[in-house]
Amino acid sequence: MSDFRQRVYELTRQIPEGKVATYGQLAKLAGRVKAARAVGVFMRTNPDAPHTPCHRVVSFNGKLTGYSGRGGILQKREMLISEGVKFLGDRVNLQESLWVTQQQ
């Protein structure tokens, strides 16, 4: 596993319940600002779910994009709501639910 991929998974495990991160945010924190799509691939092929909570990663605008777990995006939404993530319509309310780290 590449160092970048490993770092993305480490960061994903730090996202607390009730918060989300964006693909771009994780890419930036892991050292590759323009690698948001690669982060998406890593989430889709996450070998360690649910220990690495890929359902807590969303698009830059709060939209729920792919989820390879059983139930797809509907299940992802239900999981996030059960954890306390706030929504505005069909998107995560990033003003309330975005994970903010001291590294940013």
Beta strands (DSSP E) in 1-104 are: 21-22, 57-58, 87-88, 91-92
Question: Which residue numbers are catalytic?
Answer: 54
User: Dihedral through CA 101, CA 51, CA 34, CA 97, nearest 10?
Assistant: -40
- For CA atoms 37, 42, 57, 19, the dihedral sign is negative
Could you give the CA distance from residue 92 to residue 61 in angstroms, rounded to a whole number?
A: 8
Residue 21 amino acid letter: A
